[in-house]
Amino acid sequence: MRILIADDEATSLRLLERTLQRAGYEVTVVGNGREAADQLCSPDGPQLALLDWGMPELDGPGVCREVRRQPNQRYVYIVLLTARNSKLDIVEGLESGADDYMVKPFNLEELKARLRSGARILQLEDKLVEAREDMRFRATHDPLTSLLNRGAIMDLLGKELTRSNRESGCTVVMLGDLDHFKIINDTHGHVVGDEVLQGVAHRLLTAMRSYDLVGRYGGEEFLIVLNNCDLAKAPERAEQIRCAIAKSPLPTSHGKLPVTMSLGVFASAQWDHLPAEEVLREVDMALYAAKAAGRNSCSLAVPALTREHTSA
């Protein structure tokens, strides 16, 4: 584990450095408080720190306060080292943000034991953060495909439509449905059907830009949201996605299976501002038109006035 030692006394600094290196730590040494704060506040800085109280530029408690002010930073476990031993000094040091406090001269074995305790606390925090992120992922992602789930993609769609309307941009929404997916399940079983859904999810992600959104809307339906996509490019992007799915048979445990997708396409620049639910109604109608046209095709949703003008 990496540890930072900050002390302006060279002899003490060298002693601590050698002791902790022999104990297996990766040691960074600095000679003043400003350097210590800069190191500890950096995104990849050490998570363990030994700080002398009295240092140039910024004292130990000052470093603690600066580190604790940083938002969204990994926790840094800080031990203050000082010759001060009054209760008021200890209270001041701990309230500045230090986790532990040792009075000089101190026993090196005790120091190493306290650092091991700090390392255990950091490891526990890492596990808690990992568990929290895992719970957040599970709450927003489909367990089979690892795409965004219906709730998450609908929430993000609503926010993107609002942003696009505010900035007079264009958001393209696509609803894709696998063609004849029931036949795959009935013929090869649901395990193979799941493999097909996972393969399709991978191809969709590969066809997306890094800032586009794709989620499993339900069953064999996928919802795609393209941010800042020009209206004129909407049919082209839909065709690219259709081709990405149909380009070659998908490998499964029962061999390679041909898979195609039909897509309904909605481009917000053609419409007055609509809530997400109405957008889904329009894009679903466009998907139905693509299915009726023979499947493995794309159909663009158009406003009612345009439809009436075209039919006239």
Tell me which residues are annotated as active site.
Answer: 220
Residues with Cβ within 8 Å of 193's Cβ and at least 6 positions away in sequence, in order, are: 181, 184, 185
155, 165, 152, 175: which is closest to 274 by C-alpha? 165
Q: Tell me the C-alpha to C-alpha distance, in Å, between residue 43 and each of 39, 121, 123, 137, 175.
A: 9, 19, 17, 23, 39
Whether residue 3 contacts residue 45, with contact meaning beta carbons closer than 8 Å, is answered with no
Rg of the chain over CA atoms, in angstroms?
30
Report the alpha-carbon distance of residue 260 to residue 268 in Å, rounded.
26
CA 263 to chain centre: 28
Structure tokens that stand for 30 in this block: 């600095």
Whether residue 199 contacts residue 250, with contact meaning beta carbons closer than 8 Å, is answered with yes
207, 213, 226: which is closest to 147 by C-alpha? 213
**Pure H helices in the chain:** 10-22, 33-41, 60-68, 87-95, 108-140, 150-166, 181-188, 190-207, 234-246, 276-292, 304-311
